[in-house]
Amino acid sequence: MSDNVKPLAEVVESIPSGAHTAPGGVAFARNTIAVDHELGRQQKRDLTVSQGVVGLETDLLVGIGLVSHLIMGGCSLDRFGLAHMVSRARKTHSLLCDDYSGLSMSFRYLAGALGISLYSHQVSAGIRDSGLARGGAGAGNVQRMKRPLTGEGAVLKALTPDFSMVNVRVTDREGICHMNGPRWENEEQVWPESDRRHRRDCIHRVHSTGAGNG
């Protein structure tokens, strides 16, 4: 059995300055804060960061000056309010921002995962008259097209980050992860006791205080 568990510093060392990273958190949930701290320690600068909903980890990266380009589908810390570092950077024009809807970001990631260069969907037509389509930041990622059945539309260019970080609670040493969701909505994610006993010898439990929130 291969062992893919590595020290965080070693993993972050493989991320060069100027890389495109994609944090897996949203708002203030499942944030990869420990990765941010290590990126700061190693001074990885000029990063491009893409995220469906910009959260705490990206706000921290922007605040310590490691991000030059932000691709996002929204920006919020939920009940804690705005992402203040991102908001300040936008006001001072010290950060290049590409704004999409959260759904459009999902489609761009999906296209990259499927290995296709463009993704067309009905919702993409709404971008035609937006700042993106009129030549704003990220305009090159939206292409107009003539749909054979519905007429004029738009397609989104695939989004393929160089590195993605995800905060999970349980993983084995081969890198197979289990991501817990809200228990009141996802009863199927509560493992039965027999399953826990079966996995006990091969599962490496990673607590949020050590893996994602250090």
In a domain, 84, yes or no: yes
**One-letter amino acid identity for 58?**
T
108 with 190, same domain: the answer is no
- The answer to whether residues 169 and 208 touch, using CB atoms and an 8 Å cutoff, is yes
23 with 92, same domain: the answer is yes
In a domain, 198, yes or no: yes
For residue 118, list its beta bridge partners: 157
Does the pLDDT value for residue 38 go beyond 90?
yes
pLDDT of residue 179: 75
- The answer to whether residues 99 and 86 touch, using CB atoms and an 8 Å cutoff, is no
What is the tens place of the pLDDT at every residue in 173-184? 887 887 766 555
In a domain, 132, yes or no: no
What is the tens place of the pLDDT at every residue in 127-145? 544 445 444 556 567 666 6
Does the pLDDT value for residue 187 go beyond 70?
no
| More confident: 189 or 97 | 97
In a domain, 142, yes or no: no
pLDDT band at 31; cut points 50, 70, 90: confident
CA distance 144 to 179: 37
pLDDT of residue 79: 76
In a domain, 124, yes or no: no
In a domain, 38, yes or no: yes
In a domain, 121, yes or no: no
In a domain, 23, yes or no: yes
The owner of tokens 């300055």 is 17
Q: The CATH number of the domain where 86 resides is what?
A: 3.40.1080.10
Number of domains forming the structure of the chain:
2
Range of the domain at 183: 170-211
CA distance 72 to 52: 6
> How many Cβ atoms from other residues are within 10 Å of residue 208's Cβ?
15
